[in-house]
A = this chain, B = another copy of it.
């Protein structure tokens, strides 16, 4: 039985045959909105799934580049994936460092806490912009091709989730900034 990462790989390979490198590119942080993993985890997982018959590869030689192992899903892989999808997902703890930092934010000065949060806003605003660009591109394609539920529905759904997460995070960061300002204003007028 594959791990969660294994199923994530299966899902990608099922949508389109591709190499470990291709998968790694899509799972690359910080832009990977589907599942994040490094190549050092992906290659062994692919090898394991190939041995257990869920995927198969054909080696494609190239002139100037090293050979690619292009993986595709076997029938057994498709069955395993469909069965796994239906049963309830494992809940993953958020365990986000920023929440711990926010919890103890009063331990550093308002100036420093504002700087911390503003940097988060900057970075996540940037990421959100990229995600929204991608979403807009997909929405155009969907309108053009009519409302046929293409194989890209899943990709779009994952994107929507990532965008929602970023928007929520940014709203929370902005609330934090307003709270920091409120406290700073209070302590200033007191003197």
Contacts and interface: CB of A to CB of B under 8 A. Distances in A.
B107 A82 contact: yes
Interface stretch (A49-57, A59-67, A96-104): A96-104
A191 interface: no
Q: Is the interface of A mostly helix, strand, loop or mixed?
A: helix
A108 to B, nearest CB: 5
A153 B172 contact: no
Given A34-B100, A99-B35, A151 B106 contact: yes
A164 B158 contact: no
Interface string A88-118: 1111111111111111111110001100100
B154 A172 contact: no
A11 B92 contact: no
Contact of A101 (B89, B96, B151): B89
A7 interface: yes
A102 B32 CA distance: 16
B92 A107 contact: no
Contacts of A8: 100
Contacts of A158: 99, 102-103
A157 interface: yes
A153 to B, nearest CB: 6
Contact of A36 (B95, B161, B169, B186): B95
25 contacts: A11-B103, A14-B104, A34-B100, A35-B93, A35-B99, A36-B94, A81-B104, A85-B107, A85-B113, A85-B116, A86-B112, A88-B116, A88-B119, A89-B96, A89-B97, A89-B98, A92-B97, A99-B158, A99-B161, A103-B155, A103-B158, A147-B182, A157-B176, A164-B168, A168-B168
Given A15-B104, A88-B120, 7 more contacts: A30-B91, A85-B104, A86-B108, A92-B94, A96-B161, A106-B151, A164-B171
